[in-house]
Structure 1
């Protein structure tokens, strides 16, 4: 019988023999090497030829039959019934014009390119990346967290999961968040006003779809988080950038011809500046007088190293105009993907319905329940205190190193909170590009925040964010020293 499959190579790839045999036959059929109508050996013959148990062959034949690749007839044998379509037909399939909605077209036209990975990230050279938004997982209380998680798994194995179908999220978690916000941020809220989301970006996107019509003008900080700009564009809105000054977003009430503003008042992203009290009051007055909404993204103000905590805009909001967004991604594990939004009473139902459209059922319910237990046992507060001490030490090291080693290259914004330090480039564009390239070749990277600025790209000043939270003190020193040593060679480069 003229029949052969390259089983040995699959046995090296897959741990179990049945998986190796399944994929070996499946791939031969899909690629057309075994064509429609081909009769396979009987299970007994197959087992003898390839020295594999007949039971495994039976199991694989049954799997492929169930998936529509094989057909067995009593007294006749097992045959391949899958027919691979010619390449020309497959190509033709992809030539049809796809009609998208206006929203789909706008979304498709956005720049979705992620930060490029350089070759240094793919080789064995150690890479020091001053990226932003990454917590120090080496200090994460895995044992305590796992106890909370496993306890919920055991509990839900013997009783129904309450709130399983609640789009708003696990009620007990919303209650715990409400109490935590009152204690730590001074925000008064009820569990009914809180909705659990899959990270802050989901809240930003849903709010944009709810509150922005095509051609609507939306006030944003300049520079700002690119996700906000994309959400506005996808909804058809027009982002109106307002420059960030040393005391926060530039504010002129007469120029704010809008019904919506996105702000990060407690610690502006990415510059780190704090919106002063006078501007906070004026922005709230603007919202009240113009029947407008304010979306406050409080993304990493949990970690403050000195001075009193900055009150969120939501605390001063007596007219119920502020939508407050928070997240556990910076304080817990990033992949936990649990955020929350505190909504004005008038927006609770509309936001609930919009989230229900995408997620009729709560997601990550085990993690939500475990986080509730983690908070209620005081473990979350203890974790925050510990991480604040660790980050304070790293922040001091990073800031002192940057100021002493790179102050001739960057002007740094000093702040008392957060997990990154923002710097403005002081030299020519060409020198910035050379420094960035040469540091990358040595395996040292930072977050280039130049692209976060809106408006005229040709006049943009290069800026950088140096995230330190995930790095060891030694890596912080090594990385900045390397940037400094390469920076010394820039004097030999003529201005472009």
Structure 2
């Protein structure tokens, strides 16, 4: 499994790579990013990732072994020692020096001031709230819980929440601060930050939880608190909800997730969208709000199935048969409970707590992001999260910086929310930082969409500095960097963020399968309550609760990590094959940009725009298709194409490129 280390930060402090790598590993172990029992790469792999000699890599491990941070097992490998994590907020590294300060600990001679290794000076070290450590090692410690938060799923403590006289607490969601369900008596009205309202005598109001470290939306004395947006429970016990829109095809049928996309024009009438072909001609169209008008002015992508015989290089998800379906089915059975006993269970609008804990653990190891389950909110796909965040953070008429080229869904979210686009220039190294007059930025630093460029550390730091100076928020979209087959993992902006200015957005749709609509966001503490309230407005009860519990089980049993390792190898082979085929057969018309991660290749067109249009048309006639990168641009630019490959095996890749070659020959013969 890949993991993130603060390696570049220590290169600025120490003169030698082996010392920088030693301190990066030590910090990750002491900070809990690499928990006890984590298997570390071999010295050969470590040397390859960080461009060291194998002898230097062995020296790093020898130093860590001598200090008790790691252990080795003959024939198995190198592992992080149990009890390496000091635990507790007061024992974490200082933000400036990355050094730990703890009673009874002395520095050794590795490195310089502010970055030296810490050793327990004799006796047994006691963890903050956990078990005492053995002699010479820092003890295991549990994380100190915040006031009112529950440490296990069996207890559900509430912070500062009391039921007013005449009311009763009749249930609660476990494991979160303030996670209570209240019933109002006497016809009073409770308006929590979740915007869920129940009025009248005997009505029930399900209160949302605050999270550990976040604001609890209910007043302690049971008084009313009026915060925007509401979902009303009717007197007969039914609910009136607002929901997401359903993408309709022009003939009125619902759309299926799949491969090739078609565009529904923003100028379509209500009859065309809903398929009411027999409506009277005199029927006047219903007047939309300004938001609705903006929505219909933009083109909406509706995904459909790929036609028979067509080899499409558009994104179509995982190839059938590659997913470990038997293991996933077992996880689904577990999630449903014995005899379906858990099918009707509830979870808070933030999403299943078990999955949020699993995501937090996974991000800590693979991305170097330190976050608790309370900072994570689950969505029905990452795009839902991006839209909600845009609506919360962007005032109408305000500017938001978006990459150009960049993901068109983000562009539409900004425009439909009433914001103004501020295009950010992209070059061979990703987004070029500027002193933008804006307070919201969308960026894909780990793998720029669609070009695949990796944002250098220096630019990432400049973006964080811009956010600090402008009191801005950066939304980091990490859409498909789970699959990296070359180079070392890229440290995300969120892992470098020290001022809680970055929102990290991810999704399981690419790493699992398209039908699993589970996205998530890792939020600064101040955004947890607002995002949870907005999520509750759209989905008072989260969609896909069974799948969320199953995914938590799948991750907890190691199935997800095994799946990622296997698919990374397969996708890496396919990416290299496609790159080789395109370069060999179409190298005079397509320049494939370098990349070592992701699920598509980006290629610049080397001929005229007219020839590109003719080439696309000829490719369709030959039975193949690809994405025109013009979809992702704000300003006009030279033609380019995107070629997805995850769903195509070697034979299909070869046949598809062969068809593209014949399509180009058709264009040449007609000219």
TM-score range, shorter-chain basis?
A: 0.7 to 0.9
Contact in 1 for aligned 2:618/2:666 (Cα 8 Å): no
What is the aligned counterpart of 2:652 among 466, 469, 475?
475
Distance between the aligned counterparts of 2:554 and 2:401, measured in 1?
A: 37
- How far is the alpha carbon of 1:485 from its aligned partner? 2.7
Q: 1:372 to 1:114 in 2, by over 3 A?
A: closer
- Matched residue SS, 2:280: helix
Contact in 1 for aligned 2:618/2:667 (Cα 8 Å): no
- Listed as ranges, the matches of 1:197-346 within 5 Å are 197-253=379-435, 256-346=436-526
- How far is the alpha carbon of 1:113 from its aligned partner? 5.0
Q: 1:159 to 1:396 in 2, by over 3 A?
A: closer
Partner of 2:280: 91
Larger radius of gyration: 1
- Matched residue SS, 2:584: helix
Distance between the aligned counterparts of 1:423 and 1:96, measured in 2?
A: 47
Distance between the aligned counterparts of 1:133 and 1:418, measured in 2?
A: 14
Partner of 2:28: none
Unpaired segments ≥5 residues, structure 1:
1-86
Partner of 1:144: 327
Contact in 2 for aligned 1:137/1:333 (Cα 8 Å): no
- How far is the alpha carbon of 1:99 from its aligned partner? 2.5
Partner of 2:341: 158
Contact in 2 for aligned 1:419/1:468 (Cα 8 Å): yes
More helix by share: 1
- How far is the alpha carbon of 1:251 from its aligned partner? 1.6
Distance between the aligned counterparts of 1:476 and 1:212, measured in 2?
A: 42
The normalised TM-score by structure 2 is 0.57
Distance between the aligned counterparts of 2:326 and 2:351, measured in 1?
A: 25
- How far is the alpha carbon of 1:115 from its aligned partner? 7.0
Partner of 1:393: 573
Matched, 1:376 2:567: no
- Matched residue SS, 1:91: coil
Distance between the aligned counterparts of 1:439 and 1:367, measured in 2?
A: 39
Matched, 1:108 2:108: no
- How far is the alpha carbon of 1:159 from its aligned partner? 5.2
Contact in 2 for aligned 1:431/1:493 (Cα 8 Å): no
Distance between the aligned counterparts of 1:160 and 1:416, measured in 2?
A: 41
- Matched residue SS, 1:295: strand
Distance between the aligned counterparts of 1:136 and 1:331, measured in 2?
A: 12
Distance between the aligned counterparts of 1:181 and 1:161, measured in 2?
A: 29
- Listed as ranges, the matches of 1:455-474 within 5 Å are 455=635, 459-474=636-651
- Matched residue SS, 1:305: coil
Unpaired segments ≥5 residues, structure 2:
1-275
Contact in 1 for aligned 2:335/2:342 (Cα 8 Å): no
Contact in 2 for aligned 1:223/1:269 (Cα 8 Å): yes
Contact in 2 for aligned 1:422/1:463 (Cα 8 Å): yes
Contact in 2 for aligned 1:217/1:237 (Cα 8 Å): yes
- Matched residue SS, 2:377: strand
Structure 1 residues 176-229: Cα deviation after superposition (integer angstroms, max 9, x where no partner):
000000011111101000001011110111011111111111101011111001
Contact in 2 for aligned 1:133/1:330 (Cα 8 Å): no
Distance between the aligned counterparts of 1:165 and 1:301, measured in 2?
A: 29
Distance between the aligned counterparts of 2:321 and 2:411, measured in 1?
A: 33
Matched, 1:189 2:380: no
Over aligned residue pairs, what C-alpha RMSD do you find?
2.0
- How far is the alpha carbon of 1:492 from its aligned partner? 4.5
Distance between the aligned counterparts of 1:493 and 1:213, measured in 2?
A: 52
- How far is the alpha carbon of 1:100 from its aligned partner? 2.1
- How far is the alpha carbon of 1:381 from its aligned partner? 0.3
What is the aligned counterpart of 1:128 among 311, 319, 322?
311
